[in-house]
Structure formats: C-alpha cells, structure tokens
C-alpha cells in the first residue's frame, strides 16, 4: 500500500517592480481631491502636564534670579528693594523674554519640557506636513504683545493695586470718583479670574493655550523635537512626591501621638513601670512633665507655666483639678 503526500501549492509570483508606482499614481487623484485643511492638519496631543510643568519651572527660574539679585543689594538699606518689587519682577520677566522668546528660543521651562511656541494662525496656510509639529514660530508682533502682556501687564496691575490700596480708594466715601475706580478695579479682576478659570477648563479638555495671553495671541505650545523625551527624571519626581506625602502624614499623626488621650491609651502596654510613680509630678492639665514648672498656691501642685497662666487668665476662680482648691497665686518652682 503506497501513499503520496500532496505537494504544496506554488508561491504567488512577486509583484512587478513598478507596482508601487502604479499604486501611488492611482491614489494621487483621491489625495488631491481632499480639502487643504485635511491634507495639512494632523491632530496632535501635547501633554498638559508638560505645559503646566514648563510654566512652573519658569516661575521657579524667575524666583532664583530674583533671589540672586536681592543678594547683590543685601548690604544696602533694609527694605529698600521692597518698594521697587514690581519693577524688579517686571525687569526679570523682560530678561527672560529678551533672551528666549525674542530670539526664537524656548523659555527655560519650555526647553526642559521640549516645548516651543508656534503661530497657530499660520497653520491653515501650510501645505503638506509630516508630523503635525511643523509650523513657524511667533511673529515680531506676537513677541512684542507677549512682552507687553506679561511683563508690562503684571507690572501695571501690581502698581495700580498698590496705589489704590495706599490711597484707600475703597474707603473714600467722600470721593465718589475714587470709589467708582476701586469698584471698577475689583470687577475687572473678577472678570479676569472668571475668564482664566474658563480658559483652564477649555485647556484641560483640548490641551491648547494654557492661559488667556496664549489664546488671544494664538501662540500654541508644541513639541520642539518629536523624538525627544522629558528632561526631568521621573525617578526624582516620584521620590519628591513620596517624601511630601510622608511629611504630610507625619504632620497629621504627630499631634495625635503627643496627645494625653493617646498616652493614657498606651500606658497599660508600656514596659516602664516607674512611670506610675511620676503621675503626681505631671501637670494636672496636660498630663506631661511640667515645662517651666510653677506651683499653684496654696495647694502646691506643679503645673506648666503656660497651662496654669492660660487657665488663670481664662477663669478668675480657677480650681486645681487635683484637689479642687481655688488657685489664688502662682510661684515658680524652686524660686
């Protein structure tokens, strides 16, 4: 009995070498029939965390420069720079703008987060793009208005608020013009905060224009390089978050551990049997060893100075919790 295995089917013949050219030519009419907006606009998503981190890093950089500049005038009259603080902040903002945005370079925070500004108005006129990150930088007009809005706007608003508060515009009932100006300032501030909050909600939804200045100027943050990662290490960030949470937990638990109720709860499980003999030496109010011990007269019981003073100040007829006798005077222990 003989059996024969069927031979496998022959492999398909390879396509002609010019097949890809014919396929490309076949799809060209369909590609050219698409609107220009479909050809040029590639939806991209810029990390919102990166944009917020860049803004925070710029603030920290400005604070570092301010600290170093204040140290230069440390030997001069104390408080001299306080009255010129708005001018100092505006000068530092101008320096950062002059050596970053004005020369088509990212700010320090944007550079660390691999971000740059792009003129979003010019994207509709761009033809073919590859990654969606292409696009020209800000125009000269956008750069100038950005400087006016950030450095000049913050300085003008800070000076206006300090001047109106110093002149007491809000309390001047006899000067209706100043009163109306104060109300106008408060309303403008309220409208700006409401608009900023609305812009924040839109930014969290779309990921574009993190503040009102960027939205008005159509200056969008995009990645400077499509293949570059974040310059900040996640390991350091995670370590910082862990330590922050641990310190907050300690700040929450330490007052509970130092309370008298917790000590009473844990006292039966304590191995120190000699602590029972020290109960009489503890402060009757806080149940701890008296700090700056004072004697209550005439019963001679020892208290902490602050415990006894606050109780006597709060109640003129304060009675000793240990014996119930009224405290008529205080005397420093051993004095």
Kindly report, residue by residue over 277-308, the tens digit of the pLDDT. Answer: 444 578 888 888 887 888 888 888 888 888 88
Q: What is the pLDDT of residue 228?
A: 63
Segments of the chain scoring below 50 in pLDDT: 1-2, 36-40, 273-279
Q: CB of 331 within 8 A of CB of 312?
A: no
The C-alpha atoms of residue 108 and residue 61 are separated, in whole angstroms, by 7
Of 151, 142, 97, nearest to 120 (Cα)? 142
Cα three-residue angle 220-225-229, rounded to 5 degrees: 105
- Gyration radius of the chain over CA positions: 36
The C-alpha atoms of residue 74 and residue 79 are separated, in whole angstroms, by 10
The C-alpha atoms of residue 139 and residue 325 are separated, in whole angstroms, by 84
Q: CB of 218 within 8 A of CB of 121?
A: yes
Q: What is the pLDDT of residue 130?
A: 57
In angstroms, the first-to-last Cα distance of the chain is: 123
Q: CB of 154 within 8 A of CB of 137?
A: no
Q: What is the pLDDT of residue 192?
A: 93
* Side-chain-facing half-sphere of 305: CA atoms under 13 Å: 6
Q: CB of 199 within 8 A of CB of 216?
A: no
pTM beyond 0.75: the answer is no
Q: What is the pLDDT of residue 173?
A: 67
Structure tokens at 88: 């100092």
Q: What is the pLDDT of residue 204?
A: 93
The C-alpha atoms of residue 58 and residue 61 are separated, in whole angstroms, by 5
Q: What is the pLDDT of residue 242?
A: 85
Structure tokens at 282: 């503890």
Exposed e or buried b per residue across 277-291, where buried means at least 16 C-beta atoms within 10 angstroms of its C-beta: eeeeebbbbbeeebe
Q: CB of 150 within 8 A of CB of 138?
A: no
């Amino acid at each position: 009995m003989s059996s024969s295995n069927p031979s496998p089917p022959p492999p398909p013949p390879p396509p002609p070498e010019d097949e890809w050219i014919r396929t490309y030519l076949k799809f060209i009419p369909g590609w050219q029939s698409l609107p220009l907006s479909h050809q040029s606009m590639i939806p991209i998503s810029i990390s919102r965390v990166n944009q917020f981190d860049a803004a925070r890093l710029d603030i920290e950089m400005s604070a570092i420069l301010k600290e170093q500049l204040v140290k230069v005038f440390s030997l001069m009259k104390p408080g001299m720079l306080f009255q010129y603080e708005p001018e100092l902040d505006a000068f530092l903002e101008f320096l950062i703008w002059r050596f970053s945005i004005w020369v088509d370079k990212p700010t320090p925070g944007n550079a660390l987060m691999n971000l740059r500004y792009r003129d979003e108005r010019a994207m509709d006129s761009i033809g073919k793009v590859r990654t969606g990150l292409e696009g020209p930088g800000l125009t000269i007009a956008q750069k100038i208005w950005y400087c006016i809005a950030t450095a000049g706007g913050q300085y003008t608003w800070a000076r206006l608020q300090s001047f109106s508060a110093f002149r007491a515009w809000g309390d001047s009932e006899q000067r209706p013009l100043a009163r109306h100006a104060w109300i106008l300032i408060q309303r403008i501030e309220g409208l700006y905060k409401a608009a900023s909050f609305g812009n924040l909600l839109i930014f969290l939804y779309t990921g574009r224009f993190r503040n009102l200045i960027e939205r008005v100027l159509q200056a969008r943050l995009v990645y400077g390089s499509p293949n570059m990662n974040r310059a900040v290490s996640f390991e350091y960030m995670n370590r910082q978050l862990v330590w922050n949470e641990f310190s907050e937990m300690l700040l929450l638990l330490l007052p509970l551990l130092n309370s008298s109720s917790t000590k009473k709860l844990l006292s039966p499980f304590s191995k120190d049997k000699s602590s029972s003999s020290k109960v009489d030496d503890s402060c009757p109010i806080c149940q701890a060893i008296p700090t700056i011990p004072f004697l209550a007269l005439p019963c001679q019981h020892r208290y902490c100075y602050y415990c006894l003073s606050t109780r006597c100040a709060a109640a003129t007829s304060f009675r000793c919790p240990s014996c119930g006798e009224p405290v008529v005077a205080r005397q420093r222990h051993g004095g």
